Amino acid sequence: MKVLEEWLKKTEVHQKIGPYYVYVLIDPRNNQPFYVGKGQGSRLVQHAIEFDHVGSIDERGRKNQRIHEIKGAGREVEFEILRWGIETKDEAYRIEATVIDAFSGVVSLTNEVRGHGIAKGRTPLQPLISEFQAPPLTTTMPALLITLGSWWHPEDELMMDGVKRTGYGWRLNLSDNDKYLSVRGHWHVDESRVVREQIHHAVAVVEGVTRWVCRVDSWTQASPQDGRRCFNGALVKSGEVWEEFVGLLGKRVNLHARNPIRYWPLEERA
């Protein structure tokens, strides 16, 4: 990789393919991409420098782990430029996210998130219809509304009660178990309010539309570190509660608070 680093510096190719570009890292052992990124300026040079040090120190991350494995096999990571001469950062982000979405389910990428602008990214037709046609949430049943962001997959996270999950949030084709584990924790919850208002359900909200609902049977003890909890329960896939909170298209709800937890029905409180 030293040769590549020196070649990039001497040719200054990174200055000629800008201002921005989108690149992919290739595993030479199977010729499959494993990372998609957006670059500007000397990002390629920096990658070359980083690759010469990965494996000599304890670095975390799925991308670095793959690089370590490639170097351990006596091979070198390969670069490919997917699009160059991109004029703006926003356009580069959109292209990067589109490529990540296109590779999803085809190859195993090490990108920790789907990229920027995923609200308008790869989406099955049904959720897209829901986004534009979902009726408003009007039920008077009490529930916790939990806003989820894009899928995040840390290295096999252990929840506070020892249950393992490989990620959480929203992505395409979530399994029932991923849906449940994504919404069950960890949250700052007012236990006395949950009891007082008889809240027995938690509803996942993505981009302002309800996506699924879980039954809440009990809560773990609050973490002594930060006071967060997770609940024990199950995914609800049919019946009155499902119809009230989700139904065929989901239900639209306007949530503008930064706190991912809201108590339904919404009301102004002093």
DSSP class of 220: P
Residue 23: predicted pLDDT: 87
Q: Does domain 2-120 have CATH number 3.40.1440.10?
A: yes
Residue 195: predicted pLDDT: 93
Check if the beta carbon of residue 39 is closer than 8 Å to that of residue 14.
yes
Distance CA(47)–CA(80), nearest Å, equals 12
Give the chain's radius of gyration (CA, Å): 22
Residue 256: predicted pLDDT: 72
Residue 258: predicted pLDDT: 76
Residue 58: predicted pLDDT: 40
Residue 163: predicted pLDDT: 86
Alpha helices per DSSP H over the chain? 2-11, 13-16, 43-53, 62-72, 89-103, 125-133, 176-183, 191-196, 240-245
Question: Of the candidates 39, 44, 45, which has an alpha carbon nearest to the alpha carbon of residue 20?
Answer: 39
Q: Domain limits of the chain?
A: 2-120, 125-264
Token pair belonging to 38: 């957006």
Distance CA(146)–CA(163), nearest Å, equals 20
Residue 41: predicted pLDDT: 67
Which residue carries 């306007």 as its tokens? 254
Distance CA(52)–CA(50), nearest Å, equals 5
Residue 269: predicted pLDDT: 43
- Burial string for 193-210 (b: 16+ CB within 10 Å, else e) reads ebeeeebbbbbbbbbbbb
> If residue 82 lies in a helix (H) or strand (E), which one and from where to where?
strand 78-86
In 125-256, DSSP assigns E strands to 143-147, 157-158, 164-165, 185-187, 201-206, 209-219, 229-236
pLDDT under 50: residue ranges of the chain = 1-4, 7, 49, 54-59, 117-118, 269-270
Check if the beta carbon of residue 142 is closer than 8 Å to that of residue 264.
yes
In angstroms, how far apart are the furthest CA atoms of the chain? Answer: 69
